Amino acid sequence: MFFRRAARCRAPATDPVVVRNAPGFQDAIAAVADSALLSVVHIDVTGTALRATSSYGTLGMSPGSSPGISKAPMRALGSGILLSSGGRIITNDHVVENADSITVWVVAIGSPRGLDWTVTAGIVSATHRASVSTQAPEGLEDFIQTDTAINPGNSGGPLLNLAGEVIGMNAMIVSQSQGSEGLGFAIPSNLVKTVAQTLIRDGKVTRGDLGIATQDLTDPIRRSLKLSADVRGIVVTEALPLGPAAEASMTAGDVITTFQQTPAQSSAQFNRLVAAALPGTRVTPGVIRVGASQAVTLTVADQLALQARQAARPGYALLGIRVEPVTADPPTSPGTPGSTRRPVSWS
C-alpha cells in the first residue's frame, strides 16, 4: 500500500527488522515514526449536521415543542494519509462527512483528541474481523484488529508495521467509554489502495454484485444436501429478483465452490471477492446443484444500480421489507396445511 514516501504506492525494498531487546524495540518505533513523519496529516473539519430534536426541550427548542430534525454546527478531528506529492489525501468518510470547511495540517503519525505527534504501539490481534461496525457496507467488513491505542482523532491515520509500511487505515474502536479499550480496528491497506485508485480514476466507488444471499456451508447443511465431506464452499439461500444469479437460473441450495478460480471459503470472503469484481465482467463460478457440477455464466452487476432496480419493484419499502399481498381467504399460520399467508421476505 502506501509505504514510507507519500508518492510511492508500492513497497520499497526493506531490510528485515530484528528486535533483540527493549531498547531495540524503542529504536524501531522511533525509526517508524521518522519514516512516516511527513506522510500523515491532521484534519480539522467544521460543518453542519442534522440532529433529532425531542419534545423534552433541547437547545433552540422550548419544552413541549414537536419532535423533528434540526441543523446544528459540528466539528470533527481526524487524521489522513498523504498519497502523492500532488497533495492527494485519503481518510475515512465519517471524518469529513457534513463538512463545510476542511483544514489540513502536516503532523506526525496521528492526532488523537487533537494532540498532534502522537505515536502508540501494540500488536495485531486478529485479521478478517467482521460484524463489528454498523457503518461498513453489509457483508464487506474485513478489519484488522489491534490493541494499539486508537482514540478520536486517530481515524484515517495509518497503522504501520516495524518496517515503516502502512498495513491499514485506522477506522474505529469498540468501547463503552468512547476511548481506547484495546479493541481497535483498521481497514486493510490493500482495500484502501483499491478504493483510493477507484476514486481517483472514476470519482466514485463501484462494487460488483451477483444478486444472491449466501451462508457458510456447514457440516449439517453439507449432509442435508448429500455432499461429500471434502466439498468446500458457500450455499445460496436466495437468488434475488432482477439479479445476475436469478437471470442465470441459480436457485437456493446451489453451492458455490469458486469465484474467478479462487476457492469460496466463507460467505464473507465470497462477498468481498464479488464486490471487488468490475461490473460488466463475465464470470463462471464453480457451482454444484443436487450433487452435480453446473456450468453457469454470470455478468457482474453494479451494486448500486442493482439495488435501485430492486427498490423500484412494487411492494418495496424503505425499511428494507418487501411484502406481497395475501389471498382473499382468511390467513392461517405460515407453514401449516392450507396456509395462504406468505412469509415476509427481508431484502
- pLDDT of residue 177 exceeding 60: yes
CB proximity list for 167: less than 8 A, separation 6 or greater = 1, 124, 144, 159, 160, 161, 186, 188, 189
Residue 340 confidence (pLDDT): 40
Residue ranges and CATH numbers for the domains of the chain are 22-202 (2.40.10.120), 208-310 (2.30.42.10), 314-347 (no CATH)
Which DSSP helix (H) or strand (E) runs through 282?
A: strand 282-283
Residue type, 154: N
Q: Is 25 left (phi over 0), alpha (psi -120 to 50) or beta?
A: alpha
The reported pTM is: 0.67
**pLDDT cut 90: percent of the chain above it:** 30
Residue 300 confidence (pLDDT): 96
Q: What is the mean pLDDT of the segment spanning 255-260? A: 95
Q: 53-62, 187-196, 266-275: which range is least confident on average?
A: 53-62
Place of cell 531498547: 23
Residue type, 172: M
Residue 344 confidence (pLDDT): 38
Which DSSP helix (H) or strand (E) runs through 219?
A: helix 219-224
Residue 42 confidence (pLDDT): 86
Residue 324 confidence (pLDDT): 60
